[in-house]
Amino acid sequence: MDKAFFFLLVTLVFGHILGDFLFQTTKDVQNKHKFKILLKHSATVGFLSYVVTGVPGCWPIMVLVAAAHFLIDLGKAIAKRFWQKQELFLFFLDQAAHLLSMVLISWALLGYCPSMCSKVWWSDKIGLWYLKAVITIGGFILSVRAGAMIMEMAVRPFLLQLKRDGFAPRNGLENGGRFIGQLERALIYLFILAGQPGATGFLIAAKSILRFGEIKDGENRMEAEYIIIGTLMSFFLGLLIAFGAQKLLQLC
């Protein structure tokens, strides 16, 4: 893979991660069907992408990213009116469309202004460590913040079934499950990148022991299955992101 293309694509993805999963508020997500909110969000992603790529004077980065993000999110907002129950599918379809747009933007920029794209301010100041930091931080945000969003959408059908059948999960700390999931995926991510994948086994064992008291009662089989499904999905997602980031770091 061409190094310039790889650098531009990775940094554009990082700008997207910052804009979608770190700087976007819950209120913005809920009101993205409104023109002003969608425009503000798209402009923010475009600006962040321009900053993290660090290519001085290459303003088309900001314009192209913002325009593509606006159109894709607008399409998602329209699609949600017809497929309200397919939120997880629409989420992945939306992210795939954003990734494709960033691939095309990277290819177009290198094709029309290769000399400009070769002058990267961040690489000149920090060197190769900048790209490694971008991948590491981006993967961590995906694992913790984006992972929480994905897990909520993935387990919601099971939670609704529990409530519908009168087996609502017992009371716990407010947002406790979400915070536990974020912590476990963060630990998995750090273990994998530190070259200690075996430590994830101890994490699984520890969580299983702590959860044993909740799932040992045969009368609560539905709740037990809900917990097991959520736990396994969270671990799988954490491992997938961690190994993906590790592979990208090896390409630097």
Q: What is the DSSP string of 189-247?
A: HHHHHTT-TTHHHHHHHHHHHHHHHHH--GGGHHHHHHHHHHHHHHHHHHHHHHHHHHH
Evaluate whether residue 77 is within a structural domain.
yes
Claim to verify: residue 18 and residue 120 sit in the same structural domain = yes
Claim to verify: residue 109 and residue 17 sit in the same structural domain = yes
Q: What is the pTM (predicted TM-score) of this model? A: 0.87
Claim to verify: residue 160 and residue 113 sit in the same structural domain = no
Which tokens is 139 given?
């993967």
Check residue 169 and report its DSSP letter. P
Evaluate whether residue 226 is within a structural domain.
yes
pLDDT (0 to 100) of residue 178: 85
Evaluate whether residue 131 is within a structural domain.
no
Q: How high is the mean pLDDT of the chain?
A: 84
Task: List, for residues 79-120, the tens digit of each pLDDT value.
Answer: 888 887 788 999 999 999 999 999 999 998 887 766 555 666
- Contacts for 81 with CB less than 8 Å, ≥ 6 apart: none
Residue at which a domain ends, from 64, 92, 125: 125
Evaluate whether residue 99 is within a structural domain.
yes
Claim to verify: residue 148 and residue 214 sit in the same structural domain = yes
CA–CA gap between residue 78 and residue 73 (Å, rounded) = 9
Higher pLDDT, 97 or 212: 97
Claim to verify: residue 34 and residue 112 sit in the same structural domain = yes
Checking if the pLDDT of 169 tops 60, the result is no
Evaluate whether residue 235 is within a structural domain.
yes
- Give the total number of structural domains in the chain: 2
pLDDT (0 to 100) of residue 11: 93
Evaluate whether residue 85 is within a structural domain.
yes
Higher pLDDT, 127 or 158: 158
Give residue 73's pLDDT band: very low, low, confident or very high (50, 70, 90): very high
pLDDT (0 to 100) of residue 41: 94
Claim to verify: residue 83 and residue 115 sit in the same structural domain = yes
Claim to verify: residue 194 and residue 245 sit in the same structural domain = yes
State which residues form the domain around 102.
Answer: 3-125
8 Å CB contact between 69 and 88:
no
